[in-house]
Amino acid sequence: MKSVGYETFLMLVTLLALGLGCSDDSGTGPGPVKANRVWVDMVTATTNDDYVRVNVRFANLEPLFAIEIPLYVSGSGFEIDSVSFVGSKVADVFFPTGIIDDFAQTVDLVAQADTSYIQPGEGLFASLYFTLFEQAREQVLIIDTLTLSERYLLYVDSTGDGEITPEFVAGEISVLF
């Protein structure tokens, strides 16, 4: 009987130590991105949704003069309706633009600064808005980067001459019905 009491005591001490050790965990998820990176959200949608929004996000370690993010969407039964920079980290730069080619299923996102730079940090780059048609049902539409003639995934440093190739994480739209 003595061993059961001793084991119970050790178990309680272990649980108390674990509880105290983990109590300072804020539970806010992963920390800030410490890399030059572009990533696209993964969303779930249906063909009944009026508009499907997919956010494109980025992180940069140094001030940038320009960013280009060419994207390709695989699959069928969708239309890329529009691109919005409202509320994004690049909304106030000189030249944010999104060029949509529905036939080629591509969108080229570009932001170029004029007198100030795109400051280091992470945030929203742009939001893509899609319409899904019946043909898109039960598909996973992959949103990946590509090279469009001379355009490719690129950060231009604050000198305007140096090129930085950021990491890229593809996104997707999982179409349920």
Whole-number Å distance between alpha carbons of 67 and 110: 6
Grade residue 26 by pLDDT with cuts at 50, 70 and 90.
very low
pLDDT tens per residue across span 67-110: 999 999 999 999 999 999 999 999 888 788 999 999 999 999 99
Res. 147: pLDDT tops 80: yes
Q: What DSSP string runs through 2-61? A: HHHHHHHHHHHHHHHHHHHHHTT-----S----S-EEEE-EEEE-TT-S-EEEEEEEEES
Q: Which of 145, 53, 135 is nearest to 106 (CA)?
A: 145
Q: What is the pLDDT of residue 105?
A: 95
Mean pLDDT value across residues 30-36 = 70
Please indicate whether residue 22 or residue 33 has the higher confidence score (pLDDT): 33
Mean pLDDT value across residues 156-172 = 93
What is the distance, to the nearest Å, from the Cα of residue 52 to the centroid of all Cα atoms in its chain? 15
Q: How many residues does the chain have?
A: 177
